[in-house]
Amino acid sequence: MSESEQSITVDEAYEQDNDKSIKFLRPRFHAEAFPTVQIFGYVGSLVLTFAAYFLVMNHVLPVLALLIIILTLAALQAALQLGVFMHVQEGRGMAWQIIPLYLVFLIAFGMVGMSIWIMLFKSGVS
């Protein structure tokens, strides 16, 4: 909650306290334009989802190729969501939003990797 007096422009705020080493995170508040990017993002995310669904349901590809392709689609989807809807590029001050992203990689890959290891039931006799 900011005090309504001293109002500074976004650029001034950026100059004052942004971490200059992460330039791409330049804040973009209040850009009142038609949300073209968001609409394309929305359609794109639907396309990616249905593409994966179609590939799996119709068995058009051999398993290995299928796996590679849906994982790629998933990565694209994640990038799209983060970039378009989750505003990773916006922020003021320290780029706190980046730290949870590292966590995501660590934990998500850990979880998925270990789950595969567990569910293969291949560690020795069982």
Give the binding site for other proteins (CB under 8 A): 1-5, 93, 96, 100, 103-104, 107-108, 110-111, 114-115, 117-119, 121-126
**Which residue's CB is nearer to other proteins, number 83 or number 110?**
110
> To the nearest whole angstrom, how small is the minimum distance from the Cβ of residue 28 to other proteins?
17
Please, which residues have CB within 8 angstroms of residue 86's CB and are 6 or more apart in sequence? none
Q: Are 46 and 111 in contact (CB under 8 A)?
A: no
Rounded alpha-carbon distances, angstroms, from residue 67 to 63, 73, 124: 6, 10, 26
Q: Are 24 and 89 in contact (CB under 8 A)?
A: yes
> To the nearest whole angstrom, how small is the minimum distance from the Cβ of residue 62 to other proteins?
18
**Which residue's CB is nearer to other proteins, number 24 or number 96?**
96
> To the nearest whole angstrom, how small is the minimum distance from the Cβ of residue 118 to other proteins?
5
